[in-house]
Structures are given as structure tokens and as C-alpha cells.
Amino acid sequence: MPFLSKTRSIGLVVGYLLACPGVSAGQNHTTPAKTACHTLSTLLGTDKVQSAGGAQYEASATGAWDLYNQFDKPTCIVFPRNSSDVVSAMRTIFHSDAHYAVRGGGHSAMPGWNTINNGVLIDFSQMKSFSYDPVRDSIFIEPGVLNGEVSDGLQSQGVAPVGGRVEAVGFSGLALGGGLSFLSPSQGWACDRFRALDVVLTNGRLVTATHTNEYSDLFTALKGGGSRFGIVTRYEVDAIHVGTAADKTYWGGTINVLIVTTVTYSNVSGTFTTAASVTLFYNGTEAQFKQVFADFLAIPAIATNLGPLSYNEVMKVLTPSQAPGIGPRATNYGGSTLYPGQGLFEKSYNNWLNFSVNFKDEASRTFWVITPVFQSQIDVSRAHGGTSFTPPNGQFPSFSFLFPLFLARFPSHVICSDIYDRLDISRIPRSPGLPLYLNESEDVQDALTTYSGYEKLKEIYRKYDPTRFNVRRMVGPNGL
Ligand SMILES: Cc1cc2nc3c(=O)[nH]c(=O)nc-3n(C[C@H](O)[C@H](O)[C@H](O)COP(=O)(O)OP(=O)(O)OC[C@H]3O[C@@H](n4cnc5c(N)ncnc54)[C@H](O)[C@@H]3O)c2cc1C
Ligand SMILES: *[C@@H]1O[C@H](CO)[C@@H](O)[C@H](O)[C@H]1NC(C)=O
Ligand SMILES: *[C@@H]1O[C@H](CO)[C@@H](O)[C@H](O)[C@H]1NC(C)=O
Ligand SMILES: *[C@@H]1O[C@H](CO)[C@@H](O)[C@H](O)[C@H]1NC(C)=O
Ligand SMILES: *[C@@H]1O[C@H](CO)[C@@H](O)[C@H](O)[C@H]1NC(C)=O
Ligand SMILES: *[C@@H]1O[C@H](CO)[C@@H](O)[C@H](O)[C@H]1NC(C)=O
Ligand SMILES: *[C@@H]1O[C@H](CO)[C@@H](O)[C@H](O)[C@H]1NC(C)=O
């Protein structure tokens, strides 16, 4: 089973033991977690530290977005209210040598990245405040905040952070992995706009990292390198002046087209009806929009839904609730990054069709999602000090590279099938030298190892977590 990683096997424990013979629960790490939970409930109280049966325990244990993460049973769940609680939690976890996990918005599809069996889960669902500081022209965000909550909440003040494209997703995990937003072509990745990060280090020490202070190395690592460097308890980010509800400065929306594709595969010749949609926005007039996106608008459409929009309305265009087949789903990713114009784009599309054929009897839906990254975005990123993955400058005049993403959602009864054997990620074409997007690739793709700053990242990790506690005691990005 080449793609069944250690990480994956932890995730697959999930209460499917009967349906999945052979999947073992791994190490027995109950005792240190029990010690940690006992100490923590004494320190913080049973309101903030709950075990099975607690008022919020069940909702949290089963509350992650992805099915892979809905079955683990944390020994206890800590619901911090402020950074002091996180300091107590981390110090206790470290000294008890317990396994643990951290959850922001809970949208990661990587098994075990936001939940834990026999360990301590730190769930930020009670740390959801955010505010705009007009003097500093920045936004403070706590790690439990979802993208939509902050863009809705600050709408009347005309500002928003560079976050994501889907409201229900957490700001926290998204930004730590990079963060792609509709604002990104002009404003950079979400993490490019970090100003200061309050971070609880593995040993329980709380520090504030900025681009210029003594923790600037940690600051850069957290721009894309994510969860293993410490727990971020507060983000200070640039306020982007996106306008209020009355400022419908954007033109755009969605265009749906129908593509009928014939693919041939080993057994039968199958015909697939593929619905494609393009989501296009331009901060400008209708005339400018039509000029900029003329090529897209020339495709015969079955439905168009375009018009003047405020930024907040832009954020509501991709609501997952509109997607059919909602319900518990296990999601598998296959990420790539490539330069168009080398045949890779076509290859990627064809491989996705083949992939869809492979899973046609099991997957609820498969997706091929393309996010273009423009040179302007890389320029903004560099102007803000770069990230741990900063890509090379583009080879093309108008845009630099694309993130193609293969996505498949499986209903609960198939998550134990041999998906990983058949999800042959090595077949997904990519251009050497381009970083994978941590948040939109499969954990076995080892995104961090594709970063331009990978060697530096390892060095920074050694400095901030000398005993490699996070690699040993939490599930997260591979490669450190
Ligand atoms: C429907 C959907 C739409 C998406 N759309 C976009 C998009 O438009 N743009 C985009 O860039 N990405 C998008 N993503 C991917 C998204 O970036 C990731 O799923 C991301 O992990 C979500 O963050 P979260 O806080 O909700 O997740 P969580 O699962 O809570 O956290 C993800 C990871 O970050 C770690 N983490 C979270 N908070 C902290 C913290 N405070 N300190 C340290 N570590 C922390 C967790 O331990 C975990 O490893 C989308 C995902 C989904 C499911
Ligand atoms: C794990 O350890 C605990 C405490 O030592 C013990 O009670 C439990 O039975 C063990 N579980 C397994 C699966 O070995
Ligand atoms: C966190 O809250 C506790 C009370 O629950 C308080 O004693 C402590 O000072 C607070 N810490 C911070 C940093 O605000
Ligand atoms: C997104 O990036 C963060 C930060 O590195 C990481 O912890 C998280 O698990 C990533 N999400 C996914 C779905 O890979
Ligand atoms: C959108 O365009 C308006 C008008 O040109 C401008 O004031 C505003 O700053 C732009 N918004 C962003 C986020 O660039
Ligand atoms: C082709 O597929 C059908 C149904 O999916 C199956 O019954 C048949 O055995 C397959 N044929 C071969 C030669 O694999
Ligand atoms: C389609 O995928 C299968 C399984 O991964 C592989 O064996 C086959 O060679 C692929 N076909 C093409 C045309 O890529």
C-alpha cells in the first residue's frame, strides 16, 4: 500500500475497525494523555477541559469538516478562552509527553491533523473574536474565526483580511498554509499580510513574532510552514480596504458550462458529462470585466450569474451548501503546481479524467480545480518579505503558474477501500521547482519538501522545537 502513510493509518482508526480489518490503532499513548487531562482540568476547570460526556465534547469530537476526522476520541478537549489557557495547555502537554492536536476552523481533510485518539485536542471554537484597529489599520483575529465571520463582521467598516474564498473555512489553518483568496492576485497570499503573530512555543512560552523582531525566523516559517512551529493564539494582519455593502466595486460571478467528454479506459468506453464552472471577479466596471475575461465569456454558457458585487457578496459566491451531495464525506486531495505551455496542463486534465473513471463507482464527485497565480501575486509576496514557499518568478508575461487540484469525495462506506493504491499521486504532473500548496495537496505529497525555503525551515524547526516534540507527538505536515 504505497500511499497508506502512517498518518493515514491513524486517521483510519476512526471507529471503522470492524469494517477495516488490519488497520491498527497504533501506539497506546493513553497514559500520558490521561495525566495531562487530569492536570489541565485542575488548572483550567471542567468547563474548559472536557472529557467524554462533557457538554461540548461530543460536538467537538465529531465536529471536524472531513469524515476522516470525525471518529477519533480525544482523552480530553481543551477549549481555551485566551492565550494563558493555551500556555497552560501546551506546558502540561509537553511535560506529560502527551500526544495532541490543534483545531482552528476544522476544515483540514488530512487525517489526524485536527483531532486525536488518546490525546489532548486543543479546540479554538471558543476563541472567535476579531477586530479592526483603525489607527494601526490592521485586523486582529483569534484562531477560531472562520473567513466568513470576519468578512461579515467587518463589512460595515469596509475592511477584510486576505483570507480564503469560502466563508465556512477557518482563517487560522488556511493562513498558516499560505491562503488563497479572491484578493490574492492584487494583495498576495493570506500569510503575506501577517503583521504579528502571538505564538505559544512547544515549551509553553508565549512570544510575539514579527518580520523585524528577534523571532523573524519563526515569523517567516509560519508563513506557509504551518502547525509544527507553535500554536498561534492571535494574528495581526493588514486590513484590506474592500468597501462596505454599498460599495459594489466588483463585477463578476459564475459562468457554468457543460462539457461532454469521451474517455476510453480499460474496460468500457465511458461518456462523462462534466459540469464546469468558472468564477471570475474584477475590481472594476462591467466594461473592464468584459475586456479582461473576453476569452472566458466567449465559451457558450448554460448559465451565467454575473453582476455588480460588494466584496462581501463575492465571499458568498462559493458557498459549499450550494453543492449537491452534502453530508459526511471523506475527501482526498492530489495537488500539483505547474507552468502551462509544456503540455502539462493537458496532461493534468487527462489524468483527472482517468482518475474520475477509476473512482466512478465510489466517489460522490470528483473535481479538477485550477487556481491561477499571477506574477502580481508573487511580486506582492516578495514585497512583504516572502514566505517559506516563495515561488520563483514566472516564465510567462501574464501569469506564472497554476495549482491544479484533484479532489474526490467518498461516502462513508468506501473510505476503507484501497483508495490510496489507486489514487496514484505520482501520476499527477507538476513542474520541478514550483512549491505544492500545503493546504491543497495530500499529506503523502510532502509539500514542505517542495518549498524553496525547505532547508531553512528545517533549521528554524530545530531551533524552536529542539526535542522534536511536535514531530513525535502531533500529526501534521511531513518533512521536518
Ligand atoms: C470547502 C473548502 C474550501 C476551501 N477553500 C479554500 C480557499 O479558498 N483558499 C485556501 O487557501 N484554502 C482553501 N481550503 C483549504 C484550507 O486552507 C484548509 O482546509 C485549512 O486547513 C483550513 O483551516 P482550518 O483552520 O479550518 O482547519 P483546521 O483543520 O482546524 O486546521 C488545519 C491545520 O492547521 C493547524 N492549525 C489550525 N489553527 C492553528 C493554530 N492556531 N496554531 C497552529 N496550528 C493551527 C491544525 O493543527 C491543522 O494542522 C478549503 C478547504 C475546504 C474544505
Ligand atoms: C492502553 O494503556 C492503558 C493504561 O495503561 C490500558 O488501560 C489500556 O488497556 C491500553 N489499551 C490498549 C489498546 O492496549
Ligand atoms: C485569561 O483569562 C484568565 C481568566 O479566565 C485570566 O486570569 C488571565 O489573566 C487571562 N489572560 C490573558 C492573557 O488575558
Ligand atoms: C493547511 O496548512 C496548515 C498550516 O501548515 C496545516 O497545518 C493544515 O493542515 C493545512 N491543511 C490541509 C488541508 O492540508
Ligand atoms: C477596488 O477598486 C477601488 C476603485 O478603484 C479601489 O478604491 C479599491 O482600493 C480597490 N480594492 C482593492 C481591494 O484593491
Ligand atoms: C467490465 O466491467 C463490468 C462491469 O463493470 C464487469 O462485469 C466485467 O467483468 C468487466 N470486464 C472485464 C473484462 O474486466
Ligand atoms: C489510468 O489510471 C490507471 C490507474 O492509476 C493506470 O493504470 C492507467 O495507466 C491510467 N491510464 C492512463 C491513460 O493514464
Query: Closest residue (by CA) to atom 4 of ligand 7?
Result: 422
Measure 64 CA to ligand 4 centroid, in angstroms. 14
**Does residue 249's CB lie within 6 angstroms of at least one atom of ligand 5?**
yes
Q: Where are the alpha helices (DSSP H) in 63-190?
A: 83-96, 147-153, 171-176, 184-187
Average pLDDT across each block of 10 residues of the chain; the chain has 480 residues. List them in order: 25 28 48 96 98 96 89 95 98 97 93 92 98 98 97 98 94 96 96 98 97 98 95 98 97 82 46 75 96 90 91 87 53 83 82 78 76 90 94 68 70 59 72 85 86 95 97 94
Pair 373, 454: CB distance under 8 Å: no
Measure 77 CA to ligand 2 centroid, in angstroms. 20
Measure 6 CA to ligand 7 centroid, in angstroms. 25
State the ligand closest to the CA atom of 32: 2
Q: What is the pLDDT of residue 229?
A: 97
> Could you give the C-alpha distances from 191 to 162, 175, 226, 236, in angstroms and in order?
8, 5, 10, 11
Q: What is the pLDDT of residue 259?
A: 67
Spell out the residues 6+ positions from residue 98 whose beta carbon is closer than 8 angstroms to its own: 29, 32, 33, 35, 36, 75, 92, 119, 120, 473
Pair 29, 99: CB distance under 8 Å: yes
Q: What is the pLDDT of residue 273?
A: 61
Query: Closest residue (by CA) to atom 7 of ligand 3?
Result: 84
Measure 323 CA to ligand 3 centroid, in angstroms. 41
Domains of the chain: 22-123 (3.30.43.10), 130-245+455-465 (3.30.465.10), 257-451 (3.40.462)
DSSP state of 65: S
DSSP string, 270-339: EEEEEEEEEEEEEES-HHHHHHHTHHHHTS--SEEEEEEE-HHHHTTSS-GGGSSS-SS-EEEEEE--B-
Q: What is the pLDDT of residue 392?
A: 85
The CA distance from 36 to 98, in Å, is 7
**Does residue 240's CB lie within 6 angstroms of at least one atom of ligand 5?**
yes
Pair 437, 431: CB distance under 8 Å: no
**Does residue 244's CB lie within 6 angstroms of at least one atom of ligand 5?**
no
**Does residue 28's CB lie within 6 angstroms of at least one atom of ligand 2?**
yes
The CA distance from 48 to 46, in Å, is 5
CA dihedral angle for residue 137, residue 375, residue 318, residue 304, rounded to 10 degrees? 120
Measure 59 CA to ligand 2 centroid, in angstroms. 25
